[in-house]
Amino acid sequence: VAEAHACVEGFFREQGWAEPRSEVYALKHAAKSSGRQSEERDMMPSNKRAAEIMQLSDDDSAFILGRGGKTKQKIAKVSGAQLELHEHNNTIEIIGSEIERRRARKYIELVRAQRVGPVNVEVTHDDGDLTMLVVPHNCVGFV
């Protein structure tokens, strides 16, 4: 991964482009989803399984893993994506369909934001996976 990251940065420098600020560095493992689906459906990006790699800081890597790997497991479960955390180089590989990867990225970003302060979830975060409830201020600590 480090070699791929260096290669991408070198390519951007050669092109005279600003180095990528995005934490997503690679899409790989493109594979068709279930063989039972029609070829036409397999050609749709949302049905294709692929993987992408996000770069994390040391602190974020530990926070995403969580105690006993629980946070990583929860993110994988609710997003539907497979997550592989590589602590030796602080990257997380997200494997799944387009929607599964998008949801996993969103959940990872929300968990990372929790590490540094309060997080406000807005209606704009909705990918069809959001239910918002009004919680009275004096009950917030109990939810």
Q: Buried b vs exposed e over 105-131: b needs ≥16 C-beta within 10 Å?
A: bbbbeebbeeeeeeeeeeeeeeeeeee
Q: What is the mean pLDDT of residues 75-97?
A: 92
Question: Across 12-21, 86-95, 122-131, which has the greatest mean pLDDT?
Answer: 86-95
pLDDT at 20 over 70: no
Model pLDDT, residue 115: 87
pLDDT at 31 over 60: no
Give per-residue pLDDT as tens, 97-124: 999 999 999 999 999 998 888 888 888 8
Closest CA to 132 of 142, 122, 140: 122
Compute the radius of gyration of the chain from its Cα atoms.
18
Question: pTM value?
Answer: 0.64
